[in-house]
Structure 1
Amino acid sequence: MGGFKKFLLRGNIVDLAVAVIVGATFSGLVQALVADLITPLIGAVTGGRKPDFADYSFTVNGSQFRYGDFVNHLISFLVIAAVVYWLIVVPVQRLVHLFERDRAATTKQCPECLSEIPAEARRCAHCTARLVPESEKPRPTA
């Protein structure tokens, strides 16, 4: 019983549970955004009617192929993917780029072991190589 308790209380299991819950909630949020804002916007552009292909089908040798529902789901997927990309992925990428740019100004790479170290470090914490801080390096003369 102690092993099971330890398994349940490990950090990655709890993190995974939180991620699943937040992901499910976020999924509902994105679906509501698409259903309540994006789809009516598409309807307004296409003449005031909501796009619906559910009744589309064709028949081959007496077998009916209902492809309209698939088309509805495909369009829904593409719209959701576009909304997620433009409203989440692009802003997060910009934010990460800003953090990396700020971090690059305060860190440098060790010339010996290529680890990331503070820009003013005099010795690498990873390989203990002696370093000259940027502020003490001689400037080239013209």
Structure 2
Amino acid sequence: MSDKKDPSLWQGFKAFLMRGNVVDLAVAVVVGAAFTNIVNAVVKGVISPVVGAIGTKNLDHYSSCLSTACDGDQGIRIMWGSVLGAALQFLITAAVVYFLMVLPMAKFLARQEERKKATEGTQEVVEVTELEVLKEIRDELVARRRSEYGEQ
């Protein structure tokens, strides 16, 4: 009985892996990892020096102390600089993905849709015109038969 379950489980797993959505997800993860490296370089090379002109290059050093004394490991320290750095990194990642991938793809798909609609519109006009021509031919044949048989 276990021999029958194993192949069906394997076949189901294989079918799951071969679906387009899983492949698309894998591609998205790989591209996301590549963008992470780019974003980290932008943050380290551009954003951190700009922030460093105001304060420190490392945002992790920005914090607030909730207790009376924060010396070393003592006290309760809120590391809001780390949160700010992560938020900046997220915004930069989102901007890069949007402007380099989502926006161009949306424009490309819109152009394809316009071309498809234009092609469909042309085909509809041709079909309507052909139908009208066929009706005219039919009417002409009916008129000729009537005239040949003397009907009116």
Q: Same fold (TM over 0.5)?
A: yes
Aligned to 1:96: 109
| Number of residue pairs matched by the alignment | 117
The secondary structure found in structure 2 opposite 1:54 is helix
Aligned to 1:127: none
Q: 1:42 to 1:58 in 2, by over 3 A?
A: closer
Compare the two structures and name the one with the higher helix fraction. 2
Once residues 7 and 33 of structure 2 are traced to their aligned partners in structure 1, the CA distance between those partners, rounded to angstroms, is 37
Q: 1:40 to 1:57 in 2, by over 3 A?
A: same
Instruction: Give the TM-score normalised by structure 1.
Output: 0.65
Once residues 51 and 84 of structure 2 are traced to their aligned partners in structure 1, the CA distance between those partners, rounded to angstroms, is 19
Task: Flag the structure with larger Rg.
Answer: 2
Instruction: Give the TM-score normalised by structure 2.
Output: 0.62
| 8 Å contact from structure 2 (residues 51, 57) kept in 1 | no
Once residues 78 and 14 of structure 1 are traced to their aligned partners in structure 2, the CA distance between those partners, rounded to angstroms, is 33
Aligned to 1:67: 80
Once residues 48 and 60 of structure 1 are traced to their aligned partners in structure 2, the CA distance between those partners, rounded to angstroms, is 25
Q: Which has the higher contact order (CA 8 A, sep 6+)?
A: 2
Q: 1:39 to 1:135 in 2, by over 3 A?
A: farther
Once residues 43 and 67 of structure 1 are traced to their aligned partners in structure 2, the CA distance between those partners, rounded to angstroms, is 15
Once residues 43 and 131 of structure 2 are traced to their aligned partners in structure 1, the CA distance between those partners, rounded to angstroms, is 57
Compare the two structures and name the one with the higher strand fraction. 1
Q: 1:51 to 1:79 in 2, by over 3 A?
A: farther
Question: Gapped runs of 5+ residues in structure 2?
Answer: 1-5, 69-75, 133-152
Once residues 103 and 44 of structure 2 are traced to their aligned partners in structure 1, the CA distance between those partners, rounded to angstroms, is 22
Q: 1:18 to 1:107 in 2, by over 3 A?
A: same
Question: Gapped runs of 5+ residues in structure 1?
Answer: 109-117, 122-131
- Percent identity of equivalent pairs: 21
